[in-house]
Amino acid sequence: MDTPAHAPSEPGSDWLPPAGSWASSAARRRNMQAIRSRDTTPERLIRSLVHARGLRYRVAARPLPDLRRTADLVFRPAKVAVFIDGCYWHGCPDHYVSPKTNVGYWSDKVARNMARDRDTDERLQAAGWTVLRFWEHEAAEDCALKIAATVDRLRQGTK
């Protein structure tokens, strides 16, 4: 029985990455594919705490329909978009560690992510949204308190 070209191979075999792939090995490819882009542990914890405060929100939603970017939590009536950024992927000034392999690719990727984050913030703010960004290492309770206070304040119409 032939193995499909896209199937991961066993360690030690003659593995070739798919055309155009950045993966340096089958193991690296599996590792990178397993990284979650949503529903991470920090996100779930913050969502749970915010929900316990009686706030309701959309998960992984586009605040603006024409903007192809999603926020982790979206409070539409209050126009609040919340992002919980991973320290590695978004270049945390306290915890980002430069990669050891394929440095050019990964450093450029993180720089593009950071530029996209700033662009997203600017576009949302220009449309009248309040943007809250938190790092994954921040205390979930502190994040939830700030989110709740911001949403409550905006729902009451005070800036």
Band of pLDDT at residue 15, cut at 50, 70 and 90: low
Task: Report the candidate in 121, 112, 66, 73 with the shortest Cα–Cα distance to residue 89.
Answer: 112
Q: In terms of pTM, does the model score above 0.85?
A: no
Q: Does residue 136 belong to any structural domain of this protein?
A: yes
| CATH code of 53's domain | 3.40.960.10
Q: Does residue 107 belong to any structural domain of this protein?
A: yes
CA 37, CA 20: separation in Å to the nearest integer? 21
Q: Looking at 35-49, 67-81, 103-117, which range is the least confident one? A: 35-49
pLDDT surpassing 80 at residue 24: no
pLDDT digits (tens, 9 = 90+) for 135-158: 999 999 999 999 999 999 999 986
Band of pLDDT at residue 6, cut at 50, 70 and 90: very low
Q: Does residue 126 belong to any structural domain of this protein?
A: yes
CB 54 within 8 A of CB 104: no
Into how many domains does the chain fold? 1
Distances (CA, A) of 9 to 17, 35, 37: 10, 19, 25
